[in-house]
Amino acid sequence: MRQIAGLTALVALLLPAACSAESEPAPAPAFPPAASVESSASAELADDPPGTLACAALAGAVTDASLMERGVVAGIVEASATADAPVADAAQALLTAYRQAADAAGTESEPDAVAAVSAAAADMSSVCADSGLQTVG
């Protein structure tokens, strides 16, 4: 819930600046809001035990090979909002790796940055397994 409040505050800060730009339209945000994993899933099932939704979202993304698709990692992070610290921390590490990979797109460092996303996903999957939550495989 804190992340949603933080996102709302960020939008409130950026909206006036975006509206006052007259020269050219602002580029699309690097991480557009994904379909809310927490919002849609919480209506159907609670995140019990905490982290279940984030680990399930990670498992789905890995199975679908969609981690590098826009909005997928953001959805995992959003789902981790109610997770315990180890899962939430692993989701943040995944987001950091994803942002670095997005920034490296088209550069020589892109393959290593994408590999770092895979490594962060593997680490998060291990945290999920250690926590007894759904994981890949």
Q: Which residues contact 24 (CB under 8 A, 6 or more apart)?
A: none
Confidence check: pLDDT of 7 > 60:
no
For position 91, what pLDDT does the model report?
98
Number of domains making up the chain = 1
Residue 45 is assigned to a structural domain of this protein: yes
For position 5, what pLDDT does the model report?
41
Residue 90 is assigned to a structural domain of this protein: yes
Q: State pLDDT tens for residues 85-124.
A: 999 999 999 999 999 999 999 999 999 999 999 999 999 9
Residue 44 is assigned to a structural domain of this protein: yes
Amino acid at residue number 45: L
Q: State pLDDT tens for residues 10-23.
A: 334 333 434 444 44
DSSP code, position 132: T
The pTM is what?
0.67
DSSP code, position 134: -
Residue 136 is assigned to a structural domain of this protein: no
Region of 51 please: left (phi>0), alpha (psi -120 to 50) or beta.
Answer: left
Residues of the domain holding 86:
2-130
For position 119, what pLDDT does the model report?
98
Distances (CA, A) of 85 to 7, 31, 70, 108, 126: 19, 23, 25, 34, 14
DSSP code, position 80: G
Residue 137 is assigned to a structural domain of this protein: no
Q: State pLDDT tens for residues 23-80.
A: 444 444 444 444 444 444 444 468 889 999 999 999 999 999 999 999 999 999 999 9
Residue 135 is assigned to a structural domain of this protein: no
Helices (H), the chain: 2-20, 37-44, 52-64, 72-79, 85-103, 110-130
Confidence check: pLDDT of 127 > 80:
yes
Amino acid at residue number 42: S
